[in-house]
Structure 1
């Protein structure tokens, strides 16, 4: 059962398998509406990260172009994270994370007001995600990956592969959030 009071949701779509393989429905507007997720997705993104321990994030878009995201890993394994960055939230700066993989088929729904990032746990990982708004470069934002206290699952002494942009993001302490708290604190993923 999915905790419908939680703003961030771990979703495990059912797979129907036989000798040929399996089939799953990864998104259905009526099914998601029953879960309390009623955004409209307008853009799909797909990334390939070749080296293991490539870290992408922590990213978001500011209002009025905030993005709800539905993330899944279609090849390999990632550790996917959402960080509460809503001003006045009792869980501001807290994070939740889950392993998403091609094998488990799990997805993470990350609403507006949360920073998103992931680290690849093996080589050649592909990640797809739906977004509720298009990319708006003037509203692109981020916080530094190591400023929140996330327990990234990397071997001791490993430095992640980062983009130049992610190396210079501000820390959470320097971030002045434009996101409003909606009354739903972040809760652990079920």
Structure 2
């Protein structure tokens, strides 16, 4: 377990058991989650995944709060550079980001608090990201910020030209999102998150 630079975000690295057949790992384990947060089982309401070619850059995605969504994310196959960005207005880490490499070799996973944005760059073909989320998907609640915002300065690996969706290419910068009122207050995000565990 490693606490990330984003307040409330945590990286979990499970034991990986390998033999001549391959590997076995449990990226989510309730005792480790509960010991870290003091909360019971993560409340999964939606389980999703995507597969991305090398160079695909997805995000920065987040859910308007309320309703908000917490996420537990891991990469069972392939390899990605994963980014979390604190979008909670008033948070002590607002505007800060942290990054970690997720991949099928480590089975590392990340807990993403309500109000924190998520992005990743696929480093190899067919990288799969699995999401366990605390709320179901509602299209009008899903928002995006540009991962290429120079004010954020996300360190994308050299030698890869990012391939983005039209939606992500058109996403506002952090400053524009703040000006448009798209970001949620830190206290509101934390209140929504606290209610997940009740």
Same fold judged by TM-score > 0.5?
Answer: yes
Q: Which residue of 2 aligns with 1:179?
A: 185
Alignment partner of 1:31 is 2:32: yes
Q: How many residues align?
A: 179
Q: Which residue of 2 aligns with 1:126?
A: 128
Q: 1: CA distance between counterparts of 2:122 and 2:23?
A: 24
- Following superposition, the deviation at residue 28 of structure 1 comes to 2.9
Q: Which residue of 2 aligns with 1:152?
A: 156
8 A contact 1:48–1:125 mirrored in 2: yes
- Following superposition, the deviation at residue 179 of structure 1 comes to 3.2
Using a 3 Å threshold, how does the CA distance of structure 1 residues 69 and 20 change in structure 2: closer, same or farther? same
Q: 1: CA distance between counterparts of 2:169 and 2:20?
A: 46
Larger relative helix fraction: 2
Instruction: Give per-residue Cα distances to partners, 1:96-118, cap 9 Å, x unaligned.
Output: 00000111111111111110000
Is there any run of 5+ residues in structure 2 with no aligned partner, and where?
191-198
Q: Which residue of 1 aligns with 2:46?
A: 43
8 A contact 1:65–1:134 mirrored in 2: no
User: What are the within-5 Å matches in structure 2 for residues 71-90 of structure 1?
Assistant: 71-90=73-92
Using a 3 Å threshold, how does the CA distance of structure 1 residues 130 and 163 change in structure 2: closer, same or farther? same
What is the TM-score with the length of structure 1 in the denominator? 0.86
* 63-72 or 3-12, which deviates more: 3-12
Q: Which residue of 2 aligns with 1:2?
A: 2
What is the TM-score with the length of structure 2 in the denominator? 0.82
- Following superposition, the deviation at residue 10 of structure 1 comes to 1.1
Q: Which residue of 1 aligns with 2:102?
A: 100
Q: 2: CA distance between counterparts of 1:6 and 1:19?
A: 40
Cα RMSD, aligned residues only: 2.0
Q: Which residue of 1 aligns with 2:18?
A: 17
Q: 1: CA distance between counterparts of 2:124 and 2:93?
A: 31
- Following superposition, the deviation at residue 154 of structure 1 comes to 3.3
